[in-house]
Amino acid sequence: MTIDVDAQIAGLVSRIAFTPAAQRLRRRARALMIQGTASDVGKSMVVAGLCRAFTRRGLVVRPFKAQNMSNNAAVAADSDLPPGPDGEIVFGEIGRAQHLQARACKAAPSIHMNPVLLKPQTDIGSQVVLRGRVLGNCPARIYHRMRHGMMPAILDSLDRLRAEADLVLVEGAGSGAEIYLRRSDITNMHLAEQADLPVVILSDIDRGGTMAAIVGSHALLDPADRARVVGYVVNKFRGDFSLFEPGVKTITEQTGWPFLGVLRWFPTADRLPAEDSLALERPAETLGRGLNVAVPRLSRIANFDDLDPLAAEPGVALRFVQPGNPIPADTDVIILPGSKATRSDLDVLRREGWDIDILAHARRGGRVLGLCAGFQMLGRVVRDPQGNEGASGETRGLGLLDVETEIGGDKRLVDVDAVDRFSGCRVTGYEMHMGRTTGPGLSRPWLMLDDGAGHIRPEGAMSADGRIAGAYVHGLFGADAFRSHWLRSVGAQASGLDFVQRTEAAIEALADHCEENLDLDALLALAR
């Protein structure tokens, strides 16, 4: 499904439900934008920490990122559409980082917090999501032409947040000094100009080159954009900062930008969900010991934060298997995670020889679990007749479950909060997938969900011996009782970990970290 560019650009603005100006302007929040000198410098984490820190001060805070590129997404309420026939909330999708930032604000996530989401499917193309809804698949060069057609929707979403808050913290993307992209920019300096946002530059000293990154950004920006910058922050510092004070003096002399502080290394950052697969480029085995869980590192891996609760268990050793490596022979459970390109990642499984490892593991009586796309991969075949995730066609699955999948139709986006009637445990999470799975294997569902309102539905499939299972629900393992039940069912020990509280404690610690390292009163004074 390829986007018709001219038709989409022509229709973008008309499809947006704009809020009347009088309603939007009833209450205008101050705003402050955090831009980076590069990707992965910590913008998302710093914004999350500031969201909680300012919320604790009694402010109504909202996060905003105009455009995010990530296959880690979450569901969010879509206030543009009326409730469903039974009065149910209609959901869209936003980036995982903005979902976490909403939580830090103690606010419900909204599609307006991340109006444009790009979900990479190939090296040169992505699925484009506007205000929570899929527009289609788009090569990068064509999306480059589309972006300015999205600016009215982006500014409208930002206005809506500013109408309901005291402070909006706006996150940039990548580097704001990529001046060759300035004319088509919708998320850094062009957005700052259009919305009249003051900008703080964030740099990551842990990767080195901070002086060059900040001074170089100043040199590349035009005078008007330089004037929007109200200061800079050095992030991820370790050691004795007095040794870097001459560097700060040089940066300030060269740029004229005020130094707003240094954020020291935050050691428990790994307790918060990662925004995208860059986090997996620095793989590390979890500290747990006991149950050995292996996860193939798929090329288009998505929603891998599903596995964070398992990785946090002291009785679990969870390893992401990198390309070029076999699945370890001592593995107890193999988990196939979500993917933005199911058929393409089935090809990856075969290219890496992981399909052989998985089938051999299953023959030996090992357990295999599939989540969302991973569930689709466990079936006999995955068909994509309309080319929703790439070239049209079909790909043979692993054949471990007697089901088959056809990609197509509307994306299913729904929050899940139910009781699994098989285990008796509460199940929470969400569904986010295109396509429909059918076949005899569904007669043995993995879950039997009861929403408490008389609606009971089977979910997923399980082999006759119970060792192979899959389902579409993301976030299953975040439910403590369900996770403990599953661990015991595979012969592992459950620790009684309260994962929600663990994450909440990490957000609080991050807010403390921002309070201790930055002058929040000064930052608030810079917002306008």
């003051």: which residue's tokens?
198
């994450």: which residue's tokens?
503
């007669």: which residue's tokens?
443
Catalytic residue among 372, 433, 513, 514: 372
Helices (H), 297-434: 308-312, 342-352, 354-363, 373-377
Q: Supply the DSSP string of 460-474, one letter for each residue.
A: SEE-TTSSEEEES-B
Q: Given the DSSP bridges, would you call strands 447-450 and 91-95 parallel, antiparallel or unpaired?
A: unpaired
Q: Which two tokens stand for residue 225?
A: 């954009």
Q: Annotated catalytic, 513? A: no
Q: Which two tokens stand for residue 288?
A: 């747990």
Q: Annotated catalytic, 474? A: yes
Classify 139 as helix, strand or coil: strand
- Helices vs. strands in the chain: H and E counts, helices first: 16, 28
Tell me how far apart the alpha carbons of residues 488 and 376 are, in angstroms, rounded to a whole number.
25
Contacts of 55 (CB under 8 A, 6+ apart): 61, 104, 105, 106
Beta-bridge partners for 395: 382
Tell me how far apart the alpha carbons of residues 210 and 69 are, in angstroms, rounded to a whole number.
24
Among 366, 374, 356, smallest CA distance to 298 is for 374
Burial class (CB in 10 A: 0-12, 13-18, 19+), 17: exposed
Q: Which two tokens stand for residue 517?
A: 């390292």
| Catalytic residue positions, numbered | 372, 474
